[in-house]
Amino acid sequence: MNPGEQNPDWNGETAPAEASSSPAAEAFYSGAVVRITRFMPGLGVLGTVIAWRQGGLWTAAGFVVGCLIAYLNFYWLKKTVNALAERVTRSGRHESGGGAVVRFLLRYGLIAGAAYAILKISTWSLYGMLAGLFLPVGAIACEAIYEAYVALRRGL
């Protein structure tokens, strides 16, 4: 179908065909995971300073532990998704999800163990850790803002 043609929608109505994305846009958007990974340390440092000023040493220490767990979790998740995608595309068959489920449960076991240990030290450090676990969310928000800026600026 050509870019100017109409294609039928699910309810029979016609909608404009989607324009194909440019190679520049593909290259830009394919780097999102790398940029998200680069946003995390900066946000972690900024959050640690804020946690220290607002809640003291134990809150900041808990925040650092939460950030480390969140970064490690993001890294493991990225590796797992890439490995599964590689296996599926290389072999052409679907893989069992047993190993992924075990790693998933281990990640949450790590979080629960850290939360228990930190709770024994200080309640404020637990609050800091829970806030630190949101590090990838902040990094994804930064990436979304950056993508919107670049899309408007460059017309991607």
pLDDT interval class at 17 (50, 70, 90): very low
Helix 135-154 to helix 57-91 angle (10° resolution) is 70
**Residue-wise pLDDT tens digits, 37-87:** 999 999 999 999 999 999 899 999 999 999 999 998 888 888 878 777 777
pTM over 0.85: no
Residue 14's DSSP bridge partners are 8
Task: Check pLDDT > 50 for residue 146.
Answer: yes
Cα gap 100→3, rounded to integer Å: 40
β-partners of residue 7 are 15
In this model, does residue 7 exceed pLDDT 70? no
